[in-house]
Structure 1
Amino acid sequence: MAATTAPHQQTVAVVGLGAMGIVAVKNLLEEGFDVTGFERQNYIGGVWHFTEDKDTLSALEDTEINVTTDRGCFTDFPFPEGTPSFCSAKVMQDYLEDYVEHYGLRARFRLNARIKQAAREKDSNKWRIDFETGPSKYFDRLVISTGPHAKPLMPELEGSELFQGEIVHAQAFKRAEDFRGKRVLLVGLGNTVGDIAESLSGTASDIYLSHERGALILPRFVDGKPNSRLLSLRKLKAQAFMEWLFPTWIDNMVTNGAADIMKKSFGELDPSWNLEPIPSPKVTVPVVSDTLIDNLRSGVVKSVSGFGAFTGPTEVELKDGEKIHADTVICCTGYQNDLSILETEYDPCSEKIPSWLEAPGSRGRPLPQLYQNVFSLKTPDTLAFLGCVWYPTGAFLLADLASMSIAQVWAGKSKLPPPAERQKWVDNQNKRVSKLALRGSPVPASVPQMEWTRWADKTAGTGVLDRLGWGWKGWVFWWTERKLWRMLMDGLLTSACWRIFDEGKRKPWVGARAEVLRLNNEAAERETL
């Protein structure tokens, strides 16, 4: 798909300036587009900027990230040397501020920009951005980067009119001190639960964890090494190939392997915790927590059955008939995309997919209809999205690769397939995710990791997988740079590797090669100690 005019003549609006929007502004600017980023808050950084506002999601300041910093950073801007493998949310926010300053992006940002609607002008083919205050603005292209946590999923709890305590979503949890001496019931079991439970320990009088399914809980370190060391590009490629041949066998093998890591790290699981059967990583997001199982074992957190109904001012009846008393119920039930600022015909979440919604694991969440979970089916030449792609890696890296791909397609350096092929990809994606939702509760944005990575590698023009494959580029790279080849194939899966090579598309980073070598050498030195 070729750009109709030179990129520097084309204006792009990026809506949302969390990490995804910030990197989109930078990658589009590098291709010569005239970019403006809009953010409804008076700050950048999205969830990484702590706020006391209970109607706004933010990570707790002392929350540790669950992806190592070598994979959790952008591709051309590493964390400062000496940053812990798993840093705090405050360090993440500082990192984003430093990134903005380093690339001189702040002049491109418009904060306190509360958008009412983004509408497509049929006559001019421009996007009209309407604000709550002030005049509308017009752009040639539009990137929506409001992220996957735009709207909390709040369950309907039977009998809530009888309950005299507080019912809140996890989004509203800011300080453990607000719950001192209270009996707290946590509903749901995901990554948020581990953080909130740890914060409440020693503050709340009782902590109950109500859930209905098993869970895969993993530590940040396995055998003294960050958990990311368990995977290499070679292993991922082999897994993808075996999955193509023997999908059920490889799924069972991966699930059993993850369960073994969980039990080896935390010891045998008490059946009363209701953590088994441990689900496949394909149909659930692993909970990364170093303390949740310890808190269950010590009794600080009490695992109970699924929520049934409120039966009194403080009484809750669980699905197994047990009754407990609570002063506060915190629903740790996740989030969903909200793309409703768009007109219905351009909102990729507006179409109802029966096979998805009928599957119990969908939980009523929308399933975006996007090519590669990035490009609009209706107008891919002017509308794209960030925050609709997920597999187990850093969100910053995914947004970087996706926005590089957007920039290259819109600059005319990469092409998308014809409309029929794009629709076919979406149809297959719907079938795949709907099938997973019959077995568990997958992320609607989940994509096959190696398949999507191959597409992004080619579209963005990183040149990595060609040099690690069987083609002539692979053989030349293996012969001439054996040490780096081994690091990329069997070493750390670093973000920087995607900026090493110059394929005439996305801009390479001159420091990428040295960064990959440094990180791998440091890891090797630590393992010999």
Structure 2
Amino acid sequence: MVFSQTMDAKLPRVYVPGPLIVGAGPSGLAIAACLSKRGVPSVILEKENCLASLWRLKAYDSLKLHLPKKFCQLPHFPIPSDFPNYPSKEQFIDYLDSYAKHFSISPMFGYEVKSASYNAAGGFWRVVAGGSEFVSRWLVVATGDNAAPAVPEFDGVEDFGGKVMHSCEYKNGGEFKGRKVLVVGCGNAGMEISLNLCNNGARVSLVVRHKLHILPRDILGRSSFAVAVDLLKLFPLRFVDWFLIISSRLALGDTSKFGILRPKDGPLKLKGKTGKTPVLDVGSLSKIKSGQIKVVGEIRRFTSRHVEFMDGKVEEFDSVILATGYRSNVASWLKEESLPGKGQGDNTKKSWLSNIKGKNGIYSIGFTGQGLLGTSIDAERTAEDIGRQWNSNRKYLSSKINPYMYHEIGAVCSS
């Protein structure tokens, strides 16, 4: 890496010949590997000091992949065959570390992006991070939708005397033994944290605000997701939704008896319309049926020791865990109107590129709501598109950077 400082520049400037990637999670690693396979160098900026910080720093200990490993492996390097079908958090982290080592991916850690803007006159992106300014023809945003905790506002929560924490701070239920804990959020994380708390001797209540689909993780020994994928090759979506609901009813029973109502739309149709993923049951429902996990309704407000619900019930709790998901933080630093994958394009084969490619050489990986499988597909497509430009127009693209700037700022790249 070579830095240099111009007379009138406030920050050291770094020229990146290939794409600049923001984020060293699975999305960032996947696109870097796919670019490397095509001979295109890239640089990854990562605000934390490790790979896959969401998995390593913010995931609960009992987390496992929700889908079989074949649907979660990244391009050109499979998850080890001796790993179980649903690898644990630690096993998946080990896989990502091996992935980075295999492709010689070395992110620049501790570089949090403060701003990114496009210089139309020069034809390049200017990204300020870690006290430096990076200049690149291409910008790949690979931070995904899970960059920052989503924390809802509740009346009176600031007066609550118990512990309130987001699920990103939760590791295991050991410290909650014997305590009354309210889990807010009934997605996969909320369900699994409730189960883990229950298994560790906590008295658990689970807030269920909306209708949701709960499916068995496996149907007749096969992943529900794999079954759905195979059926969609032969039958229309409405039939596959019907099959999943019937299979769920047979395996799990009528969830409405326990306060969990199903939406009118089937699980796949709902996912396509709203992005809401069905819950894959790993044992939580049996605890709900037995009363060990109590289903409660929407919260009205907090008091010093109690939580009041919309139905008028009031209960005392020692702790509250907000399993309310995450949100993207891109809008805080990307000085553009929109990001590809956020309202641009649709899901038709004709327009797939518009979901990941925006104007002026910006791309997004991990924003289409299709999980790790979608991330891998988008990484391949993005690398193919950038690689085509790199190989056919390399000389021209290099000249797009102002010549005097090129000589003064130096260069940095990694293969």
Q: Which residue of 1 aligns with 2:218?
A: 221
Pairing 1:266–2:252 present: yes
Q: 1:27, 1:61 → 2: CA distance? A: 30
Task: Determine the C-alpha separation between the residues in 2 that align with 1:205 and 1:412.
Answer: 56
Shift of 1:384: 0.4
Alignment of 1:68 onto 2:54: no
Deviation at 1:294, TM superposition (A): 0.8
CA distance in 1 between partners of 2:193 and 2:241 (Å): 26
Q: Could you tell me how far 1:105 is from its partner in structure 2?
A: 2.0
Is 1:370 equivalent to 2:344 in the alignment?
Answer: yes
CA–CA distance in 2 between the matches of 1:20 and 1:338?
A: 15
Alignment RMSD: 2.4
Shift of 1:383: 0.4
User: Shift of the alpha carbon at 1:24?
Assistant: 0.6
Ranges in structure 1 where 5+ consecutive residues have no aligned partner: 1-8, 52-57, 244-249, 350-366, 415-529
Residues 368 and 175 (structure 1 numbering): CA distance in 2 closer, same or farther, change over 3 Å?
same
**1:12, 1:69 → 2: CA distance?**
29
Residue 48 of structure 1: CA displacement? 2.2
Q: How far apart are 1:202 and its partner, in Å?
A: 4.0
Equivalent residue for 1:396, pick from 351, 360, 372:
372
Are 1:47 and 2:54 an aligned pair? yes
The aligned counterpart of 2:327 is 336
Q: CA deviation at 1:279?
A: 5.1
Matched, 1:308 2:335: no
Q: Residue in 1 aligned with 2:39?
A: 32
With over 3 angstroms needed to count, the CA separation of the structure-2 counterparts of 1:103 and 1:162, relative to structure 1, is: closer
Counterpart AA for 1:183:
K
> What are the residue-to-residue correspondences of 1:399-414 with 2, within 5 Å?
399-412=375-388
Moved over 4 A (4+): none
Q: Using the alignment, how far apart are the partners of 1:375 and 1:324 within structure 2?
A: 46
CA gap 1:277/1:128 in 2 versus in 1, 3 angstroms: closer
Give the structure 2 partner of residue 188 of structure 1.
185
CA gap 1:181/1:137 in 2 versus in 1, 3 angstroms: same
The CA deviation at 1:183 is 1.1
- The whole-number CA distance in structure 2 between the counterparts of 1:153 and 1:62 is 21
Q: Do the aligned residues in 1 keep the contact of 2:356 with 2:378 (CA within 8 Å)? A: no
Residue correspondences, number: 362
> Residue type of the partner of 2:129?
F
CA–CA distance in 2 between the matches of 1:197 and 1:232? 29
- CA contact 1:386–1:403 (8 Å) conserved in 2: yes
Q: Which residue of 2 aligns with 1:124?
A: 122
Segments of structure 2 that go 5 or more residues without pairing to the other structure are 1-15, 271-275, 346-351, 391-415
Cα drift, residue 303 of structure 1? 0.5
Aligned to 1:458: none
Deviation at 1:21, TM superposition (A): 0.2
Identify the residue that residue 296 of structure 1 maps to in structure 2.
288
If the length of structure 2 is used for normalisation, what is the TM-score? 0.80
Report which structure shows greater RCO (CA 8 Å, sep ≥6): 2
The one of 197, 201, 210 aligned to 1:200: 197
Corresponding residue to 2:318 among 327, 331, 345 = 327
Give yes or no for contact 2:113–2:333 (8 Å, CA) kept in 1.
Answer: no
Whether contact under 8 Å (1:18, 1:46) holds in the other structure is: yes
Identity of aligned residues (%): 23
1:285 to 2:277 alignment: yes
CA displacement, residues 379-423 of structure 1 (integer Å, 9 cap, x when unaligned) = 2xx1000111123xxx33222211211122223379xxxxxxxxx
User: Shift in Å at residue 376 of structure 1?
Assistant: 4.5
Structure 1 residue 85: Cα displacement:
0.9
| CA–CA distance in structure 2, aligned partners of residues 254 and 291 of structure 1 | 24
- Summarize deviations over 1:346-392 as a string: whole Å, max 9, x none: 5439xxxxxxxxxxxxxxxxx8233446435432xx1000111123x
For 1:181 and 1:278, the matched residues in 2 are separated by: 38
Deviations 1:244-290 (A, max 9, x none): xxxxxx2xx44432222222222343523233457521323111122
Q: Structure 1: how far apart are the matches of 2:387 and 2:122?
A: 20
SS of structure 2 residue aligned to 1:97: helix
Matches within 5 A, 1:317-466: 317-348=308-339, 368-371=342-345, 372=352, 374-379=355-360, 382-391=361-370, 395-412=371-388
Residues 132-171 of structure 1 mapped to structure 2, 5 A cutoff: 132-133=130-131, 135-171=132-168
Distance 1:377 1:226, change over 3 A: closer
Q: 1:236 aligns with which of 221, 232, 238?
A: 232
Query: When you count strand as a share of all residues, which structure comes out higher?
Result: 2
TM-score normalised by length of structure 1: 0.64
**Equivalent position amino acid for 2:356 in 1:** F
8 A Cα contact 2:33 2:75, kept in partner: no
CA 1:319–1:45 in structure 2 vs 1: closer, same or farther (change >3 Å)? same
The equivalent of 1:89 in structure 2 is: 89
Deviation at 1:29, TM superposition (A): 2.0
1:254–1:81: structure 2 CA closer, same or farther, 3 Å change rule? Answer: closer
Contact 1:369–1:376 (CA under 8 A) maintained in structure 2 = no
In structure 2, relative to structure 1, the CA distance for the partners of 1:269 and 1:375 (3 Å cut) is closer
**Residue identity in the other structure for 2:359:** K
**What code does the residue aligned with 1:286 have?**
P
Q: Give yes or no for contact 1:339–1:347 (8 Å, CA) kept in 2.
A: no
User: Match of 2:169?
Assistant: 172
The answer for the alignment partner of 2:112 in structure 1 is 114
Kept in 2, the 8 Å contact 1:40–1:111? The answer is yes
Match of 1:412, SS state, is helix
